[in-house]
């Protein structure tokens, strides 16, 4: 399934919608800034919270936690010491961790589980310069991958907290 996202909308305090490739709103992200830690609430269009994202304090490097039903679902962490490219780990309970590699500033990267590509983020599919897509393979957890893409966008593009 391909989802359509707008650049530079992923900052705390902003609210935005994620569309499917037909242009229908399918998710709503509610930014919350007036708390001790900045937070994002990832919701379906009826307002039901599907995931909750918050920055982890006292961590080495940019680290965010994704919660689902009050349970830690994943920790998204930027690798600090990599040569020639940027990498992120999406640490999920159990053996199914994800790695995201590619050009994050250009929004051209992939999510992999082991050697298998499970999702691709790209601007190539769109003629509009401020739009990009997340194409997620069948049987994958769309909410977790989209929430992870939101975190990566916050880390790489949030003007108030450049890393």
Query: pLDDT for 50-89, tens place per residue?
Result: 999 988 877 677 889 999 999 999 999 988 765 556 789 9
* Mean pLDDT, residues 131-157 taken together: 88
Q: Which domain covers residue 111, as residue numbers?
A: 2-161
Residue 159 DSSP code: G
What's the rounded Cα separation, in Å, for the pair 97 and 8?
A: 26
Distance CA 115, CA 99 (A): 10
Q: Beta-carbon neighbour count of residue 19 at 10 Å?
A: 17
The residues, any chain, with a CB within 8 Å of residue 25's CB and separated by 6 or more, are 17, 18, 19, 45
Sequence-separated (6 or more) residues with CB below 8 Å from residue 32? 12, 13, 38, 39, 40, 41
| pTM (two decimals) | 0.84
pLDDT of residue 161: 42
Position 94 confidence tier, pLDDT thresholds 50, 70, 90: confident
| CATH code, domain with 146 | 2.40.160.200
Q: CA nearest 146: which of 68, 71, 35, 36?
A: 68
Residue 108: is its pLDDT beyond 80?
yes
Closest CA to 147 of 80, 73, 85: 73
Domain count within the chain:
1
CA angle 66, 72, 73 (to 5 degrees): 65
Residue indicated by tokens 């194409």: 135
């Amino acid at each position: 399934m391909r989802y359509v996202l707008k650049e530079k909308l992923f900052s705390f305090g902003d609210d935005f919608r994620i569309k499917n490739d037909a242009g229908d709103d399918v998710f709503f992200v509610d930014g919350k800034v007036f708390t001790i830690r900045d937070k994002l609430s990832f919701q379906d269009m009826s307002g039901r919270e599907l995931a909750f994202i918050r920055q982890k304090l006292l961590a080495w490097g940019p680290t965010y936690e994704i919660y689902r039903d009050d349970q830690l679902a994943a920790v998204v962490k930027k690798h600090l010491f990599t040569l020639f490219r940027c990498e992120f780990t999406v640490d999920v309970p159990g053996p199914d961790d994800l790695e995201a590699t590619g050009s994050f500033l250009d929004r051209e990267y992939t999510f992999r589980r082991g050697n298998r590509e499970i999702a691709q983020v790209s601007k190539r599919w769109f003629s509009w310069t401020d739009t990009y897509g997340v194409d997620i393979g069948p049987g994958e957890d769309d909410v977790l991958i989209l929430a992870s893409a939101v975190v990566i966008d916050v880390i790489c593009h949030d003007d108030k907290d450049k890393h």
